């Protein structure tokens, strides 16, 4: 498997093999595509509640959606779900990885704390499990290039048809 570099990313985007909507060439770096944070967040209800982690676990039972205009305040230790503004569509022979940006990690923002794999055949917006691992409150602004998508070739083919194949909200 090989990571796609800038020239190959741009070529495949122009050919319609990879779709990033909305898209600007300025988003493409040496080996990744910058993705931007949308204005909708999924926040956890307050405690005291025990939520069992099992096959029936449903995040919607313990969270609510909110929209923000200017920024969202992420407290130390708090976890929130964000979502990318961009819809990503990959063919069955490409997959990817979401990575946070180092400038934000240096202030304690963990952009994708788990499940960073982008499945082949996906066509959706990517949910970001964000956490403030630092000691100060962070104001997170919609529209920032919060993470990067790294795309690589898949040996063989696969097509994601799971629970989150059409996700539009965090």
- Which residues are tagged catalytic? 129
CB 61 within 8 A of CB 51: yes
Burial call 109-129: b when 16+ CB within 10 Å, e when fewer: bbbbeeebebbbbbebbbbbb
Nearest to 98 by CA among 33, 170, 9, 16: 33
Looking up tokens 């799971």, which residue turns up? Answer: 162
Residue 131 pairs in a beta bridge with 79, 110
CB 159 within 8 A of CB 122: no
CB 87 within 8 A of CB 38: no
Q: Where are the beta strands (DSSP E) in 13-168?
A: 19-21, 33-36, 40-44, 63-67, 72-74, 79-89, 94-100, 109-110, 117-118, 123-132, 138-140, 145-153
């Amino acid at each position: 498997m090989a990571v796609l570099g800038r020239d190959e990313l741009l070529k495949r985007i122009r050919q319609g093999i990879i779709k990033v909507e909305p898209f600007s060439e300025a988003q493409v770096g040496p080996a990744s595509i910058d993705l931007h944070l949308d204005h909708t967040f999924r926040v956890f209800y307050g405690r005291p509640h025990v939520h069992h982690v099992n096959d029936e676990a449903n995040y919607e039972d313990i969270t609510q959606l909110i929209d923000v205009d200017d920024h969202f305040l992420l407290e130390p230790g708090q976890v929130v779900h964000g979502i990318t503004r961009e819809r990503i569509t990959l063919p069955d022979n490409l997959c990817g990885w979401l990575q946070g940006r180092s400038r934000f990690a240096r202030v304690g923002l963990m952009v994708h704390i788990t499940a960073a794999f982008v499945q082949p055949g996906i066509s959706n917006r990517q949910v970001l499990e964000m956490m403030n691992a630092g000691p100060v409150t962070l104001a997170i602004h919609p529209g920032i290039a919060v993470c990067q998508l790294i795309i690589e070739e898949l040996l063989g083919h696969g097509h994601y048809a799971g629970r989150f194949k059409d996700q539009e909200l965090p």
